[in-house]
Amino acid sequence: MKRYRNPPPINNTINRLSSNLIGSWRRQTARTRRIIVIVNPAAGQDHPILKSINTAMHNAKMDWNLVVTRQAGDGFRLARRAVALGATTVVVYGGDGTVNEVAAGLAGTKVDIGILPGGTSNYIATSLGIPRDLTQALSLILRPDYSVHPIRLGLVNKSFFVQMVGIGLEANVVNGAGREGKDRFGMLAYLFSVLQSIANPQVAHYHMELDDQVVDTDGVTCMIINADNLLLPALTAMPPGPRKGLLDIFIPQRADLKAIFSVAATMAGAGPEVVMLPHWQAHRVSIITDPPQLIQYDGEVLGQTPVRTRVSRRLVHIIVAPEKAFALGSQAVTDESEETELNPEEPPDEQSLSSLEP
């Protein structure tokens, strides 16, 4: 059965009843949850977390274990291992990059993801209405009537992404902030990087293949947003209704302060005035730039253009507050065979399995 983001009134009633039934089932089976917590100790927040996690889990009488990432890719490998060990929920403490790795590792499974925002920006958590406060985020994950929101992951080249791909200036800002800068200055590192980037913004020519449409335009940056998943204020002006498998593409064409700072606002979770930006939608996006431009996805630098991106068939299920789940709505979810089918273009998950033991 298909479910849509903006269902007719009768379906709204059905959705509410379904949520109540699911919430009741979760309350009855709460004691059977097995939780594995994946912690990135290099995340941006500089305060002790283990005592808070242990206290919350003990009070909720949860069966849980904790593992720690040591290098890039561990989030993916530990998440896959958690599935093999029978975890029902994987909780991830870290920034967007760690959340992205864990989401990629759980793609196509029924394991829920709980997010404890521990990075500098935490854009994914913010866009899903997840509290930045650790205690509040734990309470959300452990509450008996928690809800899950299905996220359909995007693909950029051979990597999964949750939220956004940035090209050009936007990627330069992410790259310029750096791990050391974020550790020292927090969100100010992004502001410093913005100021450096706008001092000499590079205008590039974008040759885009958007499904069967070819678009040529100039711009200082390109943002490709997996918008159907998120509660970003920047998206309020976009066309309503279900956009199954569609990506939203924005390109500020002039190197003026208004366009550039709209990019910075997007990265801060406030979002640009999207009506001022040229905007396209497509299922599949291929981009070549002249000169080549830097690419980032969910805060991780990927390399340089050319780039190909689309929405995959793989879902992950992220824990959100029930009221946020209702606000997010239900993106169009197809039948079980489509959800779990691995497209030949998608990353070969099973070949990346690690023998790491939690």
**188, 127, 198, 190: which is closest to 168 by C-alpha?**
198
Decide: pTM greater than 0.95: no
Q: Tell me what pLDDT residue 234 has.
A: 47
Give the domain range for residue 138.
9-152+314-352
Residues 132 and 236 reside in one and the same domain: no
Residues 292 and 337 reside in one and the same domain: no
More confident residue, 220 or 193: 220
Instruction: Give the pair of three-digit tokens for residue 310.
Output: 């689309």
Q: Tell me what pLDDT residue 329 has.
A: 59
Reported as a pLDDT band with limits 50, 70 and 90, residue 9 is very low
How many CB atoms neighbour CB 199 within 10 A? 7
Instruction: Look up residue 138 and give its amino acid.
Output: L
Question: Which residue, chain included where needed, has tokens 């709209």?
Answer: 262
Q: Tell me what pLDDT residue 149 has.
A: 87
Cβ-based neighbours of 215, under 8 Å, separated by 6 or more: 206, 207, 208, 280
Reported as a pLDDT band with limits 50, 70 and 90, residue 357 is very low
Residues 234 and 324 reside in one and the same domain: no
What backbone phi and psi angles, to 5 degrees, belong to 138?
-65, -40
Residues 79 and 50 reside in one and the same domain: yes
Residues 114 and 187 reside in one and the same domain: no
**258: in domain:** yes
**191: in domain:** yes
Residues 254 and 289 reside in one and the same domain: yes
Residues 139 and 175 reside in one and the same domain: no
**357: in domain:** no
Residues 298 and 320 reside in one and the same domain: no
pLDDT tens track for 248-296: 898 877 655 566 555 555 544 555 444 456 789 899 999 999 999 999 8
Give the end of a domain, one of 279, 294, 310.
Answer: 310
pLDDT tens track for 67-78: 999 998 999 999
**148: in domain:** yes
The pLDDT > 70 percentage for the chain reads 61
Reported as a pLDDT band with limits 50, 70 and 90, residue 14 is very low
Residue 348 is part of a domain; what is its CATH number? 3.40.50.10330
| Residue 341, pLDDT above cutoff 50 | no
Residues 332 and 265 reside in one and the same domain: no
Return the bridge partners of 213, or none.
210
| Residue 4, pLDDT above cutoff 60 | no
Q: Tell me what pLDDT residue 145 has.
A: 83
Cα separations in angstroms, 347 against 159, 304, 351: 7, 19, 9
Torsion of CA 308, 309, 314, 319, to 10 degrees: 140
Domain count, the chain: 2
**190: in domain:** yes
**3: in domain:** no
**2: in domain:** no
Residue 206 is part of a domain; what is its CATH number? 2.60.200.40
Residues 147 and 165 reside in one and the same domain: no
Mean pLDDT of the chain: 74
Instruction: Look up residue 103 and give its amino acid.
Output: A
The pLDDT > 90 percentage for the chain reads 39
pLDDT tens track for 205-256: 999 999 999 999 998 889 898 865 555 544 444 554 555 678 989 887 765 5
Residues 191 and 51 reside in one and the same domain: no
Query: Distance (Å, rounded) from C-alpha 312 to C-alpha 309?
Result: 9
Picking from 11-25, 86-100, 174-188, which range would have the lowest pLDDT averaged per residue? 11-25
Residues 206 and 285 reside in one and the same domain: yes
